[in-house]
Structure 1
Amino acid sequence: MTDHTDTTDDTDRTEATDDQLAQTPGKGRNPTPTRIEAAEPEEFGLVQAWWGDGKGKTTAAMGMGFRAAGHGYRVHMLQFMKGGASSVEDTRGEYNAIDQFPGFSYENTGHYGWHGRLDGSDDDEHTAKARAGLERARELIEAATGVEGALTLDAPADDGVHMLILDEALYAVDQGLLEESDILGLVESKPDDLELVLTGSHTKPDYLYEHADLVTQVAKEKHPIDAGQRARKGTEY
């Protein structure tokens, strides 16, 4: 059996120069956490779209939300179509985490079950909830218009935010609950310095390409749900 033990003497290794270290994100220093203080983003204002049939779109968006909130920016997530299902408990890990994190808040406008799945949920109620979510998104974008500087981290989202995540808004379009024009209207009405993140959709949102700055496809290669695995606590909720 091949021995992979590293027998290289440390003295043989070339140490990085100060110039090389200066080019790294941490400049050669170990990262250390600092207290979160309210701050103003310097380069926010892009439109992001995360779509595809793979797991991880919402997870990626929330990850960015936590990163932004960690810098003291005000973040809010508005969820469409995630009202729960028999495989998901009422209490979800992401909600508990967001609740404990300064500067990050959320609200859910979903109806129980999934539209068009014949799961006992009311499709008309899905439509009503999605339309209510759209109106709420419009309110949040209007509230963010004219916002300048740092924002109080525990203030309501109605006072304005720096990043707005509209989770599953694109999937609501897929399901016919919202129109493409509804999403484009949100994009066109957003203030220049609001970072707008849209997730969902299993089909390519061609209508967004001229309006989005970042479009990421999350593609499924293999998923345990295909083998009958239900949503798991701590990974899916």
Structure 2
Amino acid sequence: MTEQTDAESTHAQGEQPGQAPLDDREIRPGEPESFGLVQAWWGDGKGKTTAALGMGFRAAGHGYRVHVLQFMKGGTGSVEDVRGEYNAIAAMPAISYENAGHYGWHGRLDNSSDDDHEREAQQGLERARELVEAAGDADLDEPLTLDGDPEDGVHMLILDEILYAANRGLISPDSVLDLVEEKPSNLELVLTGSHEKPDYLYDHADLVTEVSKEQHPFSSGHRARKGTEF
């Protein structure tokens, strides 16, 4: 049996030669060199929120300040109020979240009121405006405190399911465009949601990704699963 070299042993443990040992790594405040784009993720496939959160964790891993504002997610009868991503965010420096969603999912037969959903979505929109304005007042070319309030500015703002809220008439598409136009030039703005194509965004976004469904377990009667959907 051959002995592993130090480099081979390091690689086997998930480290690369020249990197600090995993136990010695620390996320320190950093500033992105080229943030400022608008990204949109829409479609009838699974993975829109997953992709946005994955990118948020990647940015936070570099010490960039990230905040997630979720529309239309306030728990349902089949999904726990506390989702797995909330626990992960709570354990991770540089990223935070909040909800702006009424209990239940708009349009589902769960006795939730359209008026309640619209009120929550409008409050979420106002909160998004506050966060965009706060980012404009901050110096995003400098590191931000990892556990600082989002009101002190963030490098990346993820507005999860905001495109669903616009698609369902809870907020107007024009209000989404206002956020895009009002954001500071170096704030990375990420928008997700909607099964319908957000045509109004295409002249204003830098990246638009359609997440298309080929097959989905929901079609065969599966419900949302803990650890994959929430």
Global fold match (TM > 0.5) = yes
Q: Whole-Å Cα distance in 2 between the matches of residues 31 and 223 of structure 1?
A: 40
What amino acid is aligned across from residue 31 of structure 2 in structure 1? E
Q: Whole-Å Cα distance in 2 between the matches of residues 100 and 204 of structure 1?
A: 35
SS of equivalent to 1:61: helix
Q: Whole-Å Cα distance in 1 between the matches of residues 201 and 87 of structure 2?
A: 32
> Residue 135 in 1 paired to residue 126 in 2?
yes
Q: Which runs of 5+ in 1 are unaligned?
A: 1-27
Residue 11 (structure 1) aligns with: none
1:116 Cα deviation from its structure 2 partner: 2.1
The runs of 4+ residues in structure 1 deviating greater than 2 Å are 28-34
Residue 59 (structure 1) aligns with: 50
Match of 2:164 among 162, 171, 175: 171
Residue 236 (structure 1) aligns with: 229
**Paired-residue identity, %:** 69
Match of 1:197 among 151, 176, 190: 190
What amino acid is aligned across from residue 51 of structure 1 in structure 2? W
What amino acid is aligned across from residue 72 of structure 1 in structure 2? G
Q: Which runs of 5+ in 2 are unaligned?
A: 1-15
Q: How does 1:21-100 map to 2 (within 5 A)?
A: 29=17, 33=22, 34-100=25-91
**Aligned-residue RMSD, C-alpha:** 1.3
- Structure with larger Rg: 1
Q: Whole-Å Cα distance in 2 between the matches of residues 206 and 165 of structure 1?
A: 20
Q: Deviations over 1:92-143 (max 9, x none)?
A: 1100000010010000010011112232111100000000000000000000
Q: Whole-Å Cα distance in 2 between the matches of residues 200 and 90 of structure 1?
A: 19
Q: Whole-Å Cα distance in 2 between the matches of residues 225 and 214 of structure 1?
A: 28
What amino acid is aligned across from residue 199 of structure 2 in structure 1? D
SS of equivalent to 1:145: helix
Residue 200 (structure 2) aligns with: 207
Q: Whole-Å Cα distance in 1 between the matches of residues 217 and 107 of structure 2?
A: 22
Q: Deviations over 1:137-159 (max 9, x none)?
A: 00000000032200001111111
Q: Whole-Å Cα distance in 1 between the matches of residues 121 and 137 of structure 2?
A: 27
Q: Whole-Å Cα distance in 2 between the matches of residues 122 and 206 of structure 1?
A: 28
Q: Which moved more, 1:33-42 or 1:48-57?
A: 33-42
What amino acid is aligned across from residue 208 of structure 2 in structure 1? V
TM-score, normalised to structure 2, is: 0.89
